[in-house]
Chains A and B, each alone.
Chain A
Amino acid sequence: MTAILDTATLTWQDVCAFDDLVPDRGACALVDGRQVALFRVSPTDELFALSNHDPFSGANVISRGIVGSKGDVPKVASPMYKQSFDLRTGTCLDDPAVSLPVHLIRERDGRVEVAIT
C-alpha cells in the first residue's frame, strides 16, 4: 500500500464485510456515486480497489473479470475484451497508455473500507 499520501486527509468509507468478498472474485461497491471494483486476492488475501469502468468497452464490468498474474504483476482481465490491468497501479498491461483510477482499500475489524483518491 502506498505510504506517500497523507492518510489523515482521506475519508474512509465502509463498503462491506471482509467475508462478503469471495477470494479471487471481484465485487463492485458504490462509493460517492463512483463504481469501485474490489478484489481480495489469494493466497495473501491482499485487497485492491480500482475503477469498475472498462475504458475499452465503456461498460462497468471490471469487477467481473478474472484475477491472476502476469509475471510478478497481480492483474485482472476485463471480461469484455480481455485486456489486463495491474491491480496495484491500474495500468493496462496490453496498452500502457491506458490506465484505471486506483483507490485505497483496507480491512478494519472484519470490515472493508475504501477511500477515493
Chain B
Amino acid sequence: MATDTARRTLVVAGNGMVGQKLLEVLVERGATVEWDIVTFCEEGRLAYDRVGLSSFFTGTSAEELSLVAPGFFDSAGLEVHVGDAVASIDTEAGKVVSTRGTRIAYDALVLATGSYPFVPPVPGKDLPGCHVYRTLDDLEAIRADAQGRRVGAVVGGGLLGLEAANALRSLGLETHVVEFAPRLMPVQVDDGGGSALRRRIEDLGVSVHTGIATSEILEGPDGRVCGMRFAGEDDADLPVDLVVFSAGIRPRDQLAREAGLAVGERGGVVVDAACRTSDPRIFAIGECALAEGRIWGLVAPGYQMARVVADRILGGESTFGGADLSTKLKLMGIDVASFGDGFAATPGAESIVFSDPVANVYKRLVLSGDGSQVLGGILVGDASMYQTLVQMVRGDMPTPPNCEELVLPVRTGDGAAVGMGVESLSDTAMVCSCNSVSKGAICAAVQGGAVDVPALKACTAAGTGCGGCVPVVTDLLKLELRKAGIEVRNNLCEHFDYSRAELFDIVRVHRLTSFSQVLADHGRGLGCEVCKPAVASMFASLGVGGGYILERSQAPLQDTNDHFLANLQRDGTYSVIPRVPGGEITPDQLIVIGQVAKDYGLYCKITGGQRIDLLGARVDHLPEIWSRLIDAGMESGHAYGKALRTVKSCVGTTWCRYGVQDSTSLAIEIELRYRGLRAPHKLKSAVSGCTRECAEAQSKDFGIIATEQGWNLYVCGNGGMRPQHAQLLVEGVDHDILIRTIDRFLGYYIRTADRLERTATWLNKLEGGLDHLKAVVLDDALGICAELDAEMDRHVAEYECEWAATINDPEKVARFRTFVNSDEPDPNVVFVAERGQRRPAFSHEKQEVRSS
C-alpha cells in the first residue's frame, strides 16, 4: 500500500458512453482511493445508451436509456458537473476552465468529447425542419417537429442513417433515405448485399434513393423546409417536411486543437497505444481520438480505450492495438453482418455468393485462392452463421472442404427453429431463488449500467447465494447487451480472449497437451479457477495423457472434486458414489457398500440417478474406501466430474408386463460406453422400455424410449433448475444408428458448448436450433462426423477407471492427506447423530459437542 496520502485529481471531459465506461472501470478498480475524479457532462443528461437511441421512439424512456446507476456520482471521490463542459485547457499549468468558469488543476486529463454529426455544406441546411441525429435532445426535437408533418427524409444511408430512417418511420412519417453512394451501408456491404438490403427496406415502406447528391434544401413560403433538390439534372425535386442529416460523424477535437495537442489531418486527437495524446498528462478515448491512424466509430473499441486508460492511470501497461470491426446488427428487424475481408481485397481471394431475390437473402463468403480459409463475408437477411464464420476467419475453427454449404440454406429444415433461450423467460420469472431476483430486475440492472457479472452481483445480489443461476444471469446480461447493440465477447475469463468453444478448437487443432503451453501461446497471466478446470476438461475430452485427469501436469488444474475424485461437502468432507450402471446392482455389492459405510461412518442416501451416495468421508480415507469398492467389482461413478453421471432405466422386457424392448441392457451398455466422458457440464441419461416412460428419459440430456419400431432418441432435456422437455432427434432407429447418433450429439456438444452449459441451454442458444443439430449429426452438414466418431471410439477404447489408476500409484495416494506434517484428522469436522446416521454439525452444535 502506498503511504503517500496526497490525493490526485483526474478530470474527464465528457460523459458519453465511453466516458462513463472509464468512470465505471476506475471505480471498480478502486481508483477513488487515490484519485478525485471530476467529470464534465455537457448535455443536461448523464451518460445514456446512444446505440439503442431509436428505441426512444418505440417507447423506451430517457431514464431507461441511462447508463448511470442511481447514486453513482454520490460515491466518495466522484464529482460531476452536469450541463457544463471543459472550455479550455492550459497544458503548461495543468488546469482546465469550464464553460461556466470553474477552474480545476489536474494531474491527469481524459478527453472523451465524442463526435458531432457531419452536415454537408448545402444551402438551406440550417432551415427550420432540418435536424441531426445524435443526442436525446436531437431526438426530442425531431419528435416535436414531426407532429402533424407527413414526409421525412434522411440524408445518409449508412448505419446511423438507417437508424434515423427507422425513427422517422416509427413517428408515422412517409420516409425517404437519400444516399450519395451507389448503395446502402456502403462501408459494410457490397452491391449485392446493398440490393438485398434495399429491397427489404423498401418492403417496409421506406423509399430509397441511392447514387444521388443533395444540392439544396428548399425553403417553403412559411420559412421552413419544403423539399430537397439534387445535383443530377434528371433527379426531380423531392417534397419533404422534415430532413435529418446522418451522413457520418466527425471527431470533436476543437478543445485539443486550441490546447495545441496534435490532431490528425482529417481531425481526431492523435493518441499512442496507451491512448495518450501529445501531452503526456492528457489521454483521449472514443470517437474524438485518432488511434492507430483512424477514428473508431463503434462503442466496443471505445470501451476498450476506456479500459486501457483506466489501467494506465492506475499504473498499468495496457495498450489499445485496434479492434475487430466485424459487426452483426439488426436494422429495422433485418439482419446485416459484415466481417473480415468482406470485399475480397486480399490478392487471389475468391467469393462464393448465394443470393435469393425472392426472400431477399444475400450471403457472400470470401475465401483464400485455394479455398482453404474463410477470409471474410457479408450477410444480409440471414446472419445465423455469423459466429461460426467469424471463428473460421480468425482461424479458431477449421474451414470445412465444402464451404458452399456454409452459405446455402440448411435443407433439412421442417420450419424455423423456435428460440427457447433466456429471451423466452417472462420478466417475472425467478432467476436467483436464493435472493429472489427476477429476470426483470436483472435486465433493469444491466440497462442501469451493470455491464458485467460482478457488477450485476453487486447491485442485484443475484448469483451470490449458491451460484447455480450464474450461467442464466450471464445469458441475460449478454442478451441485454446484444439488444443494446454492444458486441458481446464470450471470453472464458480474463486469461483468454476466447470462448470455451474457440479454445477447445485451438487445443484440438494445435494438439496442445499442457496448460502452460495453452496459456503461453494463446493466453496471459497464471490462469484461474475458471480456465484451468475448463482446459483440463478439454484435455480429458480429447484423451490427452490417456484421458487420466490426475496426470502430473494436469492434477493442479483440477477443481477439488476432480482432484480428490469425490464431491466436496459443506464441512470439507467428501462424498463417494460408486457407479451402478443402469441402476442394476448385486446383493454382494450392496453388502460391501453397507459394510464400507459402517466402517467409515458414512451417511447413506439413495440418489435420484439410481445409485447410492456415501457422505462424510475424510480425504485420507478415500483411497482405502475405494480399494474396497474396487475389490468388490465396482468403479468410479464420476459423480464429482463434469462427465456422464447415470443412465437410469426401468426393468423393460426383462420383468415388466408392458415393456417392448430391453431397456436395462441398453442403459448398462450406454453407461459403460460413455462412462468417464468429460464434457462442459454433467450429462444424465435414461432408457425407458415403453412409452409409459418410467425412466423419465425426456428430462435427460439424452434419453431413449423404446417403441415397437426401434428406439426414439430425445436430446437436450433438463430437470434441475429450469426443467425442459427433451426434443426428438431421431425416431424408430436400430441399435447401431442410435449409438452413432448419440456419439455425434455428445461430440458436437463437447466441442461447441460454453463452460458449465447443460445441453438444454446449449440447444436453446445454438443458432438454427434442433434443425441445425440434425443437419450436423444426421446429414454431416459440417463434414465433422468422421472426426466425432473417431474421437468417441478413442474414448471408449482408452477408458480406465480413474480410481483404480489412482490407488495403484503410491505417489498419487500420498496426496490424500489432510496435513503434510501430521496424520491427525481435521478437528473442525464434527458430526452429530440424526435418524440413526450422522451428519455434519452446524456451527452452534459444534460448540455444544466440543464443550461436552
Q: Is the CB of B819 within 8 A of A64?
A: no
Q: Which residue from chain B places its CB closest to the CB of A25 in the assembled complex?
A: B556
Whether A74 lies near B556 (C-beta < 8 A) is no
Answer yes or no: B568 CB below 8 A from chain A CBs: yes
Tell me if A5 counts as interface (CB < 8 A to partner B): no
Question: What is the bound-complex CA distance between A31 and B495, given in angstroms?
Answer: 35
Q: A74 to B526, Cβ gap below 8 A? A: yes
Select the stretch in B420-428, B528-536, B538-546, B780-788 that faces chain A: B528-536
Assembly CA distance A68 to B523 (angstroms): 13
Interchain nearest-CB distance for A1 vs B (Å): 16
Among B467, B532, B559, contact of A68 (Cβ-Cβ < 8 Å)? B532
With both chains docked as a complex, state the minimum distance between the C-beta of B587 and any C-beta of chain A, in angstroms. 36
CB within 8 Å of A: which of B501-551? Answer: 516, 525-529, 531-533
Chain A residues closer than 8 Å to B495, beta-carbon distance:
68-69
What interface size band does chain A fall in?
A: 35 or more
Which residues from B are CB-within-8-Å of A61? 560, 568, 572
Residue of B nearest to A81 (CB): B467
Q: Which residue of A lies closest to B843 (CB)?
A: A58
Contact of A28 with B819 in the complex, beta carbons under 8 Å:
yes
A59, B570: Cβ atoms under 8 Å? yes
Q: How far is the CB of B817 from chain A (nearest CB, A)?
A: 8
Which residues on the B side are within 8 Å of A35 (C-beta)?
Answer: 819, 826, 828
Which one of A43, A66, A74 contacts B529 once the chains associate, using CB atoms below 8 Å?
A: A66
Cα distance A85–B532 in the bound complex, in angstroms:
17
B467 A82 Cβ-Cβ under 8 A: yes
Q: Would B819 and A60 count as touching, CB distance under 8 A?
A: no
**Chain A CB within 10 Å, residue with most, of B495, B533, B824, B828:** B828
Q: Are B526 and A79 in contact (CB under 8 A)?
A: no
Given A16-B821, A22-B556, A71-B494, does the pair A60, B528 have CB atoms closer than 8 Å? no
Chain B 557-578 near chain A by CB (<8 Å), digits 1 or 0: 1011001100010111000000
Cβ-closest chain B residue relative to A64: B560
A30 to B533, CA, bound (A): 28
A82 B529 Cβ-Cβ under 8 A: yes
User: Is A45 interfacial (CB-CB < 8 Å)?
Assistant: no
**B86 CB to nearest A CB, Å:** 31
Q: Which residues of A contact B532 (CB under 8 A)?
A: 66, 68
Q: Mark A90-109 against chain B: 1 for CB-CB distance below 8 A, else 0.
A: 00001000000000000000
Q: Which residues of B sit under 8 angstroms from A67, Cβ to Cβ?
A: 526, 556
Contact between A68 and B821 (Cβ–Cβ < 8 Å)? Answer: no
Does any Cβ of B come within 8 Å of A50's Cβ?
no
Q: Which residues of B contact A43 (CB under 8 A)?
A: 516
B820 interface residue per 8 A CB criterion: yes
CA distance A56 to B819 in the complex (A): 21
CA distance A74 to B495 in the complex (A): 13
Instruction: Select from chain A the residue with minimum beta-carbon distance to B846.
Output: A58
- Does A28 contact B820, Cβ atoms closer than 8 Å? yes
* Known contacts A68-B525, A74-B526, A79-B568; A24/B826 CB under 8 A: no
Chain B residues within an 8 Å CB radius of A81: 467
Tell me, yes or no, whether B99 is within 8 Å of chain A by CB: no
**Cβ contact within 8 Å between A65 and B527:** no
B572 contacts across to A, CB distance below 8 A: 59-61
| CB neighbours of A69 from chain B (8 A) | 495, 525-528
The answer to the question of B58 belonging to the interface, with a C-beta cut-off of 8 Å to chain A, is: no
Contact of A115 with B by CB under 8 A: no
CB of B490 within 8 A of chain A? no
Q: Are A68 and B555 in contact (CB under 8 A)?
A: no
Query: Is the pair A29, B528 in contact by a Cβ cutoff of 8 Å?
Result: no
State whether B528 touches A30 (Cβ < 8 A). no
A55 within 8 A of partner (CB): no
B388 in contact (CB, < 8 A): no
Taken together as a complex, chains A and B put the C-alpha atoms of A23 and B526 apart, in Å, by: 12
* Complex interface: chain B residues within 8 A of A31 (CB): 821
Verify A68–B820 contact, CB threshold 8 A: no
- Check if B494 sits within 8 Å of A66, measured CB to CB: no
B436 CB within 8 Å of chain A: no
Q: In this assembly, does B818 line the interface, its C-beta being within 8 Å of a C-beta of chain A?
A: yes
B822: Cβ under 8 A from any A Cβ:
yes
Give the chain A neighbours of B821 by CB distance below 8 A: 15-16, 29-31
CB atoms of B527 and A29 under 8 A apart: no
Bound complex: CA of A53 vs CA of B826, how far in Å? 11
Q: Are A77 and B528 neighbours in the complex by a CB distance under 8 Å?
A: yes
Against B, the Cβ 8 Å flags (1 = close, 0 = not) of A19-59 are: 01111110111110001001001110000000001000111
In angstroms, how far is the closest chain A Cβ from the Cβ of B26?
Answer: 14
Alpha-carbon distance between A27 and B467 when the two chains are bound, in angstroms: 26
Contact of A25 among B528, B563, B819 (CB under 8 A): B563
* Contacts known (A15-B820, A30-B819); A59 close to B526, Cβ less than 8 A: no
Q: Are A80 and B528 in contact (CB under 8 A)?
A: no
In the assembled complex, how far is the CB of residue B43 from the closest CB belonging to chain A, in whole angstroms? 33
Contacts of B819 in A (CB 8 A): 28-30, 35
Q: Which of A1-20 contact B (CB under 8 A)?
A: 15-16, 20
Q: How far is the CA of A27 from the CA of B531 in the complex (A)?
A: 21
Chain A's closest residue to B561 (CB) is A79
Q: Which of A21, A30, A38 contacts B822 (CB 8 A)?
A: A30
* A16-B820, A59-B571, A68-B526 given; A22·B555 CB < 8 A: yes
In the assembled complex, how far is the CB of residue A4 from the closest CB belonging to chain B, in whole angstroms? 12
Q: Are B526's CB and A41's CB within 8 A? A: yes
Return chain A residues, CB-CB under 8 Å to B527: 68-69
Query: Which residues of chain A have a CB within 8 Å of any CB of chain B?
Result: 15-16, 20-25, 27-31, 35, 38, 41-43, 53, 57-61, 64-71, 74-75, 77, 79-82, 84, 94
**A-B contacts besides A30-B824, A66-B557, 12 pairs, CB < 8 Å:** A20-B820, A38-B820, A59-B570, A59-B571, A59-B828, A66-B533, A68-B527, A68-B531, A69-B525, A69-B527, A77-B528, A77-B529
User: Can you name 13 A-B residue pairings with CB atoms under 8 Å?
Assistant: A15-B821, A25-B556, A29-B820, A29-B822, A30-B822, A35-B819, A43-B516, A53-B828, A57-B570, A60-B572, A66-B557, A68-B495, A79-B559
Pick the 4 closest A-B CB pairs, nearest first: A68-B528, A77-B529, A69-B526, A59-B572
